[in-house]
């Protein structure tokens, strides 16, 4: 997607299933892999602490990622993600979680805008409590939206879990 190589940190659990161990062993430097995790930034470099890692089995996954990255970039350039399509995340067991627009989408836009405005002047980014106060929204609601935005790759944490910046 043009962002370049990324450092992915994976914590090894000594009691992992054989499937998880096999997936990790198949992931090698220079090969494509799919991971789910939390983006963090420290001293100017970004990394991901991965909760799940597996090798890419189908190159259509890469094509989908590239298309989604271009779409997200275009939406961010327009000033928000209001017109982003419904996204479905495939979960284990064949279930899918579908995130739809609506009232939550409006709050996501407001939070993203506040984080962009408040976090642009500092390497630490925007304080989540300050974002909640400025929007007049409960901290728990803002944290929930921030978690969703992190999952979508729109924001990332900086110095700690209470400071974020727009990606």
- Residue 96's pLDDT is 30
- Residue 3's pLDDT is 64
For range 9-35, the mean pLDDT: 72
pLDDT for 94-146, tens place per residue?
323 333 344 456 888 899 999 999 988 888 889 999 999 999 999 999 998 99
Structural element, H or E, at residue 156: strand 155-157
**What strands, in cross-sheet order, belong to the sheet with 126-127?**
7-10, 45-55, 33-42, 155-157, 163-166, 126-127
Reported confidence tier of residue 19, pLDDT bands at 50, 70, 90? low
- Residue 98's pLDDT is 35
């Amino acid at each position: 997607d043009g962002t370049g190589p990324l450092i992915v940190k994976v914590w090894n659990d000594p009691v992992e299933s054989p499937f998880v161990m096999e997936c990790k062993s198949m992931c090698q430097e220079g090969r494509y892999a799919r991971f789910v995790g939390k983006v963090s930034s420290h001293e100017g470099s970004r990394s991901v602490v991965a909760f799940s890692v597996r090798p890419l089995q189908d190159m259509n996954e890469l094509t989908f990622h590239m298309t989604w990255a271009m779409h997200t970039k275009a939406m961010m350039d327009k000033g928000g993600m209001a017109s982003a399509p419904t996204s479905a995340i495939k979960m284990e067991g064949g279930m899918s979680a579908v995130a739809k627009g609506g009232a939550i989408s409006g709050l996501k836009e407001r939070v993203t805008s506040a984080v962009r405005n408040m976090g642009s002047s500092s390497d630490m980014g925007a304080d989540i409590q300050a974002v909640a106060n400025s929007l007049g929204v409960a901290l728990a609601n803002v944290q929930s939206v921030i978690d969703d935005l992190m999952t979508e790759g729109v924001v990332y944490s900086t110095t700690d879990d209470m400071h974020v910046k727009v990606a």
